Amino acid sequence: MKQTLPVDGKFELMALPYAPEALTPAISAETLGFHHGKHLLTYVNNLNAALPGSGLEGLPLEEVVLKAQGGMLNNAGQTLNHNLYFGQFTAPKADNAPSGRLASAIDEAFGSFDAFKEAFVKAGATLFGSGWAWLSADAEGKLVITQEPNAANPVQRGLRPLLTMDVWEHAYYLDYQNRRPDHLAALWQIIDWDVVAERYED
């Protein structure tokens, strides 16, 4: 997978590849503002504050997640998780679906795209508390869905993360309140399948 390197000893807040209102109604500009500009910024700042003296200075973020512990691991994991999450969206599209080798791998692993979507939303909806639903590839390119609690990332299981849904309440509460499954279902319109396919081909 692509590596994220620190610049002058610090990880940067990722720039959003779309306008703040571009993901409405799945994610409002207000939610995006808090989620990216406050929550993610805090994780990045806390990670940067923990780097000096940790022995992990200069390593890519993906390796920091494999080597850090405790609070530093939580902040590194949440930085990586959110970079992948915010990087995978685009303006809403009708009939939004993957194509090519990724679409074939989804059919092979889950039976059909619709069956995959159902299984993925179920993974997110049934995750107790805070965490993330993930689609990842194993070493042979086979696709798997996992539920990861809190700040965990599939790289910790040796998997390559491709697509994720954040089910921490801060991801949807302003827009959807308690209706987590409705928020997750709305996210299908804004998935940038080209980005997900690039992650699969990397």
The footprint of Mn ion (CB under 5 A) covers 166, 168, 171
Least distance (Å) between residue 94 CB and Mn ion:
27
Least distance (Å) between residue 75 CB and Mn ion:
12
- CB nearer Mn ion, residue 16 or residue 103: 16
Least distance (Å) between residue 166 CB and Mn ion:
4
Name the residue with the smallest CB distance to Mn ion.
166
- Write out the DSSP string of 133-174: EEEEE-TTS-EEEEEEETT--GGGGT-EEEEEEE-SGGGTHH
Least distance (Å) between residue 30 CB and Mn ion:
14
- CB nearer Mn ion, residue 59 or residue 190: 190
DSSP H helix total and E strand total for the chain: 9, 3
- CB nearer Mn ion, residue 6 or residue 77: 77
Helix (H, G, I), strand (E, B) or coil at 122: helix
- CB nearer Mn ion, residue 163 or residue 171: 171
